[in-house]
C-alpha cells in the first residue's frame, strides 16, 4: 500500500501548533497576572463615565467625572463616595423624591458633625424622557435645582417642588439621553452609590429609589444604602 505524505499540510500543522502555543502563553500571562473589572452598571462593576455640562449653582461648565474617583482607595473614610440620581425634571416620581435627595445631600457631608462617615458627593443626571409633555432645558434643570420660579416641573412651578434648593447637588445636562443610554437606565428616578475607587456599590431598582443593599431581600432606600455601605469612622462619633 502506497502512503502519500502532504508536506505542505505538515508545515501548516507545525506552524499552527507553535503559534497557538505562543497565543496561549499570552493568554496564561493575562489570566494569572490580572483580575479585570468590567465597566458596567451592575453592583461590583466599574461605573461608566458621566458626560455633559454640569451646573452647581454658578452657570453651566464642563466637568470631568473621573476626577471624583481615587483608583488607589484602600477602604479609608477620607475618600469621597458618589451618589447619582438619573432623573427628569418632568417626572412626577423624581419631583416627589427631590426633597429626600436634597436632605441626603446636606446630611452626608464632612461638615455635618452628625455624620461620622466619608463625604458623599451628590450628582443628578437630568434627561428629557421621550414622553409627551416632558420638555426640559438647561434653564428648567437649573430652576429645579435652585427651586426658582418660571419653569414647569411635572405640572407645577419648579419653585413649588418639595424640599429646599439642592445646594450640594451637581446637575449634569443629559437632555440628549447619552448618559441614560450609556448607563442603561430603564426608568427615572434610578440611583447609584459609587465607591471612591469608581466601583458601583449599590443600584436602586429601575424607576424607584429602593433596592436590596445586603442581599436579604429587603428593599432599602438610597439613604439606607449610604448608611449601610459608606465607610464610617468610629472615632468621629455616632450618626
Preceding omega of 189 cis (within 30 degrees of 0): yes
User: Which of 22, 112, 139, 149 is the binder for another protein (CB under 8 A)?
Assistant: 22
> Is-contact 133 156, C-beta < 8 A?
no
Q: Which of residues 73-132 bind another protein (CB under 8 A)?
A: 73
Of the listed pieces 94-102, 115-123, 193-201, 214-222, which binds another protein according to CB under 8 A? 193-201
Residue nearer to another protein on the CB measure, 18 or 237 = 18
Of the listed pieces 15-23, 108-116, 121-129, 217-225, which binds another protein according to CB under 8 A? 15-23
CA distances in angstroms from 231 to 77, 116, 117, 196, 237, listed in the order given: 5, 9, 6, 10, 13
Check residue 80 and give left, alpha or beta (phi > 0: left; psi -120 to 50: alpha): beta
* Burial category of 169 from C-beta neighbours within 10 Å (exposed 0-12, middle 13-18, buried 19 and up): buried
User: Which of 3, 7, 155, 216 is the binder for another protein (CB under 8 A)?
Assistant: 7
User: Which of 19, 64, 150, 181 is the binder for another protein (CB under 8 A)?
Assistant: 19
Residue nearer to another protein on the CB measure, 33 or 58 = 33
Q: What is the rounded (10 degree) CA torsion for 18, 19, 22, 27?
A: -130
Q: Which of residues 30-59 bind another protein (CB under 8 A)?
A: 30, 33-39, 46, 48-49, 51
If we measure between CA atoms, which residue out of 166, 202, 9 comes closest to residue 87?
Answer: 166
Q: Looking at the chain, list the stretches that DSSP marks H as alpha helix, in order from N- to C-terminal side.
A: 7-33, 92-107, 138-146, 178-182, 222-229
Binding track, positions 145-184, relative to another protein; x by CB under 8 A: ----------------------------------------
Of the listed pieces 25-33, 94-102, 140-148, 200-208, which binds another protein according to CB under 8 A? 25-33
Report in angstroms how near the CB of residue 34 gets to another protein at its nearest. Answer: 4
Written as nine digits, the cell of 193 is: 452609590
User: Which of 1, 5, 8, 75 is the binder for another protein (CB under 8 A)?
Assistant: 8
Q: How far apart are CA 218 and CA 212, in angstroms?
A: 6
Written as nine digits, the cell of 158 is: 419648579
The footprint of another protein (CB under 8 A) covers: 7-8, 11-12, 14-16, 18-19, 22-23, 26, 29-30, 33-39, 46, 48-49, 51, 71-73, 197-199
Amino acid at each position: 500500500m502506497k502512503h502519500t505524505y502532504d508536506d505542505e499540510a505538515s508545515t501548516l500543522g507545525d506552524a499552527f501548533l507553535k503559534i497557538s502555543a505562543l497565543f496561549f502563553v499570552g493568554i496564561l500571562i493575562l489570566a494569572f497576572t490580572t483580575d479585570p473589572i468590567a465597566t458596567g452598571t451592575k453592583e461590583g462593576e466599574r461605573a461608566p463615565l458621566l458626560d455633559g455640562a454640569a451646573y452647581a449653582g454658578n452657570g453651566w461648565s464642563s466637568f470631568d467625572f473621573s476626577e471624583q474617583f481615587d483608583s488607589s482607595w484602600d477602604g479609608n473614610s477620607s475618600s469621597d463616595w458618589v451618589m447619582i440620581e438619573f432623573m427628569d425634571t418632568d417626572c412626577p416620581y423624581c419631583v416627589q423624591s427631590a426633597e429626600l435627595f436634597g436632605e441626603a445631600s446636606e446630611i452626608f457631608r464632612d461638615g455635618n458633625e452628625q455624620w461620622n462617615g466619608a463625604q458623599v458627593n451628590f450628582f443628578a443626571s437630568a434627561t428629557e424622557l421621550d414622553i409627551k409633555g416632558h420638555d426640559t432645558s438647561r434653564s428648567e434643570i437649573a430652576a429645579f435645582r435652585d427651586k426658582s420660579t418660571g419653569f414647569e416641573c411635572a405640572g407645577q412651578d419648579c419653585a413649588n417642588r418639595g424640599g429646599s434648593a439642592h445646594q450640594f447637588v451637581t446637575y449634569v445636562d443629559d437632555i440628549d439621553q447619552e448618559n441614560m443610554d450609556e448607563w442603561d437606565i430603564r426608568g427615572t428616578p434610578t440611583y447609584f452609590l459609587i465607591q471612591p475607587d469608581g466601583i458601583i456599590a449599590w443600584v436602586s431598582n429601575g424607576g424607584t429609589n429602593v433596592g436590596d443593599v445586603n442581599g436579604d431581600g429587603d428593599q432599602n432606600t438610597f439613604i439606607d444604602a449610604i448608611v449601610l455601605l459608606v465607610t464610617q469612622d468610629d472615632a468621629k462619633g455616632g450618626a
